[in-house]
């Protein structure tokens, strides 16, 4: 199975080398997409890695789409990773599941660890225990999975048409929600497969803009409709029960804060 990883970058992330090493350890095809003025320096810095210049006038999700297109057709599955995040050794479990049957439109995902700017553990992100309840979780306003720990088969990516380049904040959620609405199978693997770094200045801190864009995505896709209250309640309870240890760790480390609050303050202690 040939895995493609795309990383959008401005070229100045102090964590980019760590991100690159984490992908190299998996032996995946890695494509960096960067401002055109950064292509030469990044090519010299990371020999053997394909570096492409992002198209003018687009945002991050347009750049990801472009990088996937430039990568050609010699890959079976795709994921994308921000230039401050990491793939962990257990990401190989995701790859192994895809490798068993790389054909067809499928999504495979695992848990994502939260780390701080120095790489220290802050906890984990709660995720869906089963792809069978993801539609109900979206309707209940619970995010079932996260981009850092997720792989889409090539057929899934192509059927969805990639990311929505019009979005600035919620392209990840939009892409995975569209896969769910399309009836694509979702399979979860065990372990923490990727790490999401909370740091100063990242887009996730702009919660007001993210919430507003997510509301537009929810409305456009009809995510909050079409699921009855009992199904949403059952999905919510299963989600909470399956992630009990995640909540317990968060409380022990950070006090009684929500996941959104933790994202906003970057895991700082109260």
pLDDT of residue 269: 43
The pTM assigned to this predicted structure is 0.93
Write out the DSSP string of 62-122. Answer: HHHHHHHHHT-S--SEEEE--TT-EE-TTHHHHHHHHHH---SS-EEEEEEEEE-TTS-EE
**Distance from C-alpha of 158 to C-alpha of 259, rounded to nearest angstrom:** 32
Average pLDDT score over residue span 78-102: 95
**Distance from C-alpha of 138 to C-alpha of 224, rounded to nearest angstrom:** 7
Where is pLDDT greater, at 58 or 145?
A: 145
Average pLDDT score over residue span 93-117: 94
CA quadruple 154, 156, 159, 160: dihedral sign = negative
| 3 state SS of 189 | strand
Confidence of residue 205 (pLDDT cuts 50, 70, 90): low
Helix ranges restricted to H, 101-228: 134-139, 154-160, 171-181, 207-221
| 3 state SS of 150 | strand
End-to-end CA distance of the chain: 45
pLDDT of residue 119: 95
| Structural class in CATH, domain 3-254 | alpha beta
pLDDT of 44 above 60: yes
pLDDT of residue 181: 97
Q: What tens digit of pLDDT does each residue of 160-196 get? A: 999 999 999 999 999 999 999 999 999 999 999 999 9
Confidence of residue 257 (pLDDT cuts 50, 70, 90): confident
Query: How much is the mean pLDDT over the chain?
Result: 92
> Hey, what are 60's tokens?
């991050």
**Which residue matches tokens 């979702």?**
186
pLDDT of residue 263: 76
């Amino acid at each position: 199975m040939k895995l493609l990883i795309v990383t959008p970058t401005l070229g100045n992330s102090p964590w980019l080398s760590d991100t690159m090493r984490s992908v190299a350890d998996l032996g995946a095809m890695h494509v960096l997409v960067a401002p055109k003025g950064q292509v030469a320096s990044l090519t010299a810095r990371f020999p053997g890695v394909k570096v492409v210049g992002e198209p003018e006038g687009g945002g991050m999700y347009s750049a990801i789409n472009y990088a996937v297109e430039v990568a050609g057709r010699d890959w079976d599955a795709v994921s994308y990773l921000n230039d401050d995040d990491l793939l962990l050794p257990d990401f190989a479990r995701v790859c192994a599941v895809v490798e068993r049957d790389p054909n067809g439109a499928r999504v495979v995902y695992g848990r994502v660890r939260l780390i701080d700017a120095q790489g220290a553990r802050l906890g984990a992100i709660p995720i869906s225990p089963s792809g069978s309840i993801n539609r109900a979780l979206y309707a209940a306003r619970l995010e079932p999975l996260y981009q850092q720990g997720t792989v889409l088969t090539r057929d899934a990516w192509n059927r969805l048409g990639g990311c929505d380049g019009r979005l600035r904040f919620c392209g990840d959620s939009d892409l995975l929600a569209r896969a769910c609405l399309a009836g694509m199978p979702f399979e979860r693997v065990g372990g923490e497969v990727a790490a999401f770094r909370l740091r100063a200045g990242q887009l996730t801190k702009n919660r007001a803009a993210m919430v507003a864009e997510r509301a537009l995505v929810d409305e456009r896709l009809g995510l909050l409709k079409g699921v009855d209250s009992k199904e949403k309640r059952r999905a919510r309870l299963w989600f909470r029960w399956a992630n009990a240890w995640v909540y317990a760790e968060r409380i022990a480390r950070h006090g009684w804060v929500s996941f959104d609050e933790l994202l906003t303050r970057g895991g700082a202690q109260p």
